Structure formats: structure tokens, C-alpha cells
Amino acid sequence: MQLKIYNSLSGEKEIFKPILEGNVGMYVCGPTVYSNVHLGNVRTFLSFDFIYRSLTHLGYKVRYVRNITDAGHLTDDGDVNNDRFVKQTRLEKLEPMEIVQKYTVDFHKVLEMFNLLPPNIEPTATGHIVEQIELTQKLIERGFAYESNGSVYFDVLEYNRRGLNYGELSKRNIEELFANTRDLDGQGEKKNPQDFALWKKASPAHIMRWNSPWGEGFPGWHLECTAMSTKYLGETFDIHGGGMDLKFPHHECEIAQGKACNDAAPVNYWMHANMLTMNSQRMSKSTGNYILPMQLVTGENDFFEKPFHPSIVRFCFLQAHYRSVLDISNDAMLASEKGFIRLMEAMKVLHSVTPNDEKQSSFNLEEWKNKAYDALTDDFNSPVLIAHLFEAVKYIFALNDGKETISTKDLEDLKSTLNALIFDVLGLQTIEENNNEKLDQTLKVLIELRNQARKSKNFELSDQIRDRLLAEGIELKDGRDGTTYVLN
Ligand code: AMP
Ligand code: ZN
């Protein structure tokens, strides 16, 4: 079985060859923890969770690193005063690290809710300032960076003069970049507008600041990922992932930093997950076109007609390939809910299927398994994989109706394959039965038993039921219409 991965760098599906056989080093850009993650962010992290689970299931030993961006960096327009952390600290009247802690906790809670596995290493930018300063020094020593007025910039034109190719990932050429760059950041400091900051001098208003050989400042955003990925995965590693929007400039700059530092491309396979849209527009905090994960799960929003369980959201996301745009809508969620319920129903039914070793089945299990794994290894094609799961679902219902047959061996095989694909690889979870409903039914049974005890004049037992429930905080109230209960 050969795993094929679409490499954004080559623009082609390539056969995956890890650097060290059987092992995978994977780095995924993490969140900027200055506010709550929106559902769009969740889609990207979920795409890579599915990829991580798939690689592990296929037998690779994966070291999965996903960082936390917690050091203030510049926004796209390059204005230091627009630093998202600085803005948020003012707004919430909190210390920068309080903001970081608050939203890191929220991020973890949200991902746990959607059953994402934690990465093996989750390094923070503020925990790797020393490494970032060292990298900056190395880039200056190698002639790829220069200091200017307390800031340090990467010299993009020098990089190209040496035959390296800035723009290779985003397929932009240097002239194009020159024409399109607005020189707001580092005006008068940069040699060329394309140059990007490795280290920025901190203005008096900037709270997050560190000492460096160039005075007090803070690192550039692109540098943290180079520092942390090389520290934990090596100068060249297997897979680097992130959302499509990070291709340029973030990942382009990472390639340049890596090549300039180590004379080698930092990443063998670049993977980019596509965007979640709502109302056919990219979900984003800045435009206001977004929904928070919790709002979808609790139903507290104006967009969806009802709440949706996190597993259904997960299922909906996986019904689209990670490289396709997914437009989330009420209809899409309702359709996913229907599909999810049918899939889970089939899994329940499967447990009561009786095998028959006499009759021949028309369902070729081996062939079906091959097709499912072909989809998984074809650039992690989750929608095709799910379509194959539904072929199995059809077969299971036919088995249940006695219209199909299965041998003992195949039944075991089908069960374990489906369990692995549905729960381990897709990471779906069954929806627990409603606990409140269960409690209500249990109490009704106890009330009925108490009534029977009273009828047969067994007052000792009927009082015992009432008192024991009261001790648990459940009060029984006898009225004209029968007995009800109150939870205290
Ligand atoms: P940020 O915290 O802004 O760095 O974003 C975290 C991750 O979410 C990045 O990988 C982004 O590419 C990704 N992202 C942002 N918006 C969307 C969206 N609408 N759909 C999918 N991924 C997104
Ligand atoms: Zn990054």
C-alpha cells in the first residue's frame, strides 16, 4: 500500500517517502491565542488531526508538533500598534500572559470537544525566544539578514541573488512581490519592501518585549515556526501543515529562513488545508462572518435551526476533502446528522448480526477493504472513504433483514475494520444517550414501585424509597395527579 500526499510545493500528488522509514515528523502551525478560535480554525486543526490519526493507523510512528503563537507579532498591515495581543490586553484589561492562558485553555477545550488528539509536543513562541535570537544571529552571520534601527530584516533580494528562489511555494515572482508590497512596516528601515522582519524593536507601548543583541524587542512571526520545527523535528523534516492562507507570506518565509540557515529545504511535503466558508464567504473574525464552536453546539446562534453534537460537526467536516472549500450551512449540517445517525445505527445493528458459514455472501469484504484503504492513502480522501463506509452500512442492514449473509471470520474482520476506520481514523464518537432522559425513566420506575408498596401496605419499603431518594437530593411530591419529583 502506497501513501500519496498532495505536495503544495510541487502542485502534485507524490508518493510519500519519510526521511526515516516508518517515522514521520509533522509540524502544524498552531493558533494565535489572543481570542477564541472560530469554527474555521477548528476545521484546519481537525483536518490535520485526521491526517495524524491516519498516519498513525497506517503504522507510522508520528512526532506531531503544533505550536502556540503567544508572542505578539505584527498584523498584515505591519503596524506595531495593531499587534493583536496589545489590542486585546487593552480591551480586556489583562496582562498579556493572562490573555495567552485564557485563550490557550479555551483552544484546548474546544479541540477536546471535537475529539482532536493532542500533539506530541506543543511548544510556545515565548518559550523559544533564545532559539529565535540565535537563528537571527545565524542569518546575519550568513549574510541573509541585516540590522536596522534595532530591528533585523531578512534580505529577500540577497536570497535570490544567491540563486535561491523566494516565492517558490506561493508561485510568486520577486517583481510581482515588489509591485504588491505596501511598505508600511519598517518604513525607511528596510533595504527592500519585500524584506520581512526577523526581530522587531519594541516601541515604548509594546508590552511583550525581550532583551536581544539589538536592544529590547520581539520576534517576527515567521521565525518562531522555523525555530520550533527545527528544534523538535530537525533541519529537514517530513510534513509541514497549516491553513491555505498561511502559504504566503508565512510558509514562504519559513522556507527562506530554513534554506538560508541550513542550505537545505526545511520541509519535504507542504500540506495546506482549505477554508471553511459560511454564506459562501471565508469564515473570519475580522469580517464578522464567523461562528464560535460552542454556539453551534449549544444552538445559541441565529444561523442554525438547532444545536448540533460535536461528533456531527466532525462528521460534516470530514465529508469534504481537506483540500476542498467547505461551506457550512443548516442543510449541510442536517444532512450530516442524518448520515451520522445511520452510520451509528449500523454499528449497533452489527453487534446483533449472526454469522452463517454455510452460505456464500455477494459482498466481497476484501475488495471493499482495499477500496476503503485506497481512499485513505489517496491523499487522505475522507469523503470517498465515507462513501465506502456507507456501502458497508447498506450491507449491514441487508444482513439484519436476512437478505445477506456473512461468515464468522468476515464478521470479525468487518467489525474490527469499521471500528478502526470510524472511531480511530475518522475520530468519530457515539452520541451518549441523554442522561436526563435515563434519570427520568429510572425515577418513574422507583415511583411506581413505591406506589405498589403502598398499595400492599408495605409502608416500611415505601418510606424507605422516599427517604433514600431525599437523602440523594431527590424529593418526591404526592399530589392529586400522582407523584412527581423535584431535584434539589
Ligand atoms: P490563526 O490563529 O489566525 O493563526 O489561525 C489558525 C489556523 O486557522 C491557521 O492554520 C489558519 O490558516 C486557519 N484558518 C483561519 N481561518 C480559517 C477558515 N475560515 N477556514 C479554515 N481554516 C482557517
Ligand atoms: Zn507557523
Measured in Å, residue 382 CA sits from the centre of ligand 1 at 20
Measured in Å, residue 485 CA sits from the centre of ligand 1 at 48
Binding-site residue ranges for ATP: 285
Q: How far apart are CA 352 and CA 437, in angstroms?
A: 25
Residue that is written with C-alpha cell 482495499 in the block? 370
Q: How far apart are CA 64 and CA 329, in angstroms?
A: 32
Number of the ligand 1 atom closest to the C-alpha atom of 246: 12
Q: How far apart are CA 240 and CA 416, in angstroms?
A: 31
Exposure string of 317-345, with b = 16+ CB inside 10 Å and e = fewer, is bbbbbbbeebebbeeebbebbebbeebbe
* Residue 352 identity (one-letter amino acid): S
- Domain 277-425: state its class: mainly alpha
CATH code matching the domain that covers 17-273, chosen among 1.10.10.10, 3.50.50.60, 3.30.60.50, 3.40.50.620? 3.40.50.620
* Residue 84 identity (one-letter amino acid): R
Structure-model confidence comparison of residues 334 and 173, the more confident one: 334
Number of the ligand 1 atom closest to the C-alpha atom of 283: 19
Measured in Å, residue 350 CA sits from the centre of ligand 2 at 44
Query: Cβ neighbours of residue 175 under 8 Å, at least 6 residues apart?
Result: none
Percent of the chain with pLDDT over 90: 83
Which secondary structure element, helix H or strand E, spans residue 134, and what is its range?
A: helix 129-141
Measured in Å, residue 359 CA sits from the centre of ligand 1 at 52
Residues with CB under 6 A from ligand 1: 29, 31-32, 40-41, 43-44, 242-243, 245-246, 275-276, 282-284
Q: Whose CA is nearest to atom 14 of ligand 1?
A: 41
Average pLDDT along the chain: 93
Looking at all shown ligands, the one closest to residue 31's CA atom is 1
The 10s digit of each residue's pLDDT in 7-16 is: 999 999 999 9
Q: How far apart are CA 114 and CA 312, in angstroms?
A: 9
The predicted model scores a pTM of 0.87
Q: Where are the domains positioned within the chain?
A: 17-273, 277-425, 432-487
Structure-model confidence comparison of residues 433 and 173, the more confident one: 173
290 in Cβ contact with 283 (< 8 Å) = yes
Of 354, 350, 349, nearest to 414 by C-alpha is: 350
The 10s digit of each residue's pLDDT in 148-188 is: 999 999 999 999 999 999 999 999 887 776 666 554 566 78
- Between strands 61-66 and 23-28, the pairing is parallel
Q: Whose CA is nearest to atom 9 of ligand 1?
A: 243
Say whether 277-425 and 17-273 share the same fold. Answer: no
E strands present in 16-69: 23-28, 61-66
Considering only the C-alpha atoms of the chain, give the largest distance between any 2 of them, rounded to a whole number of Å: 99
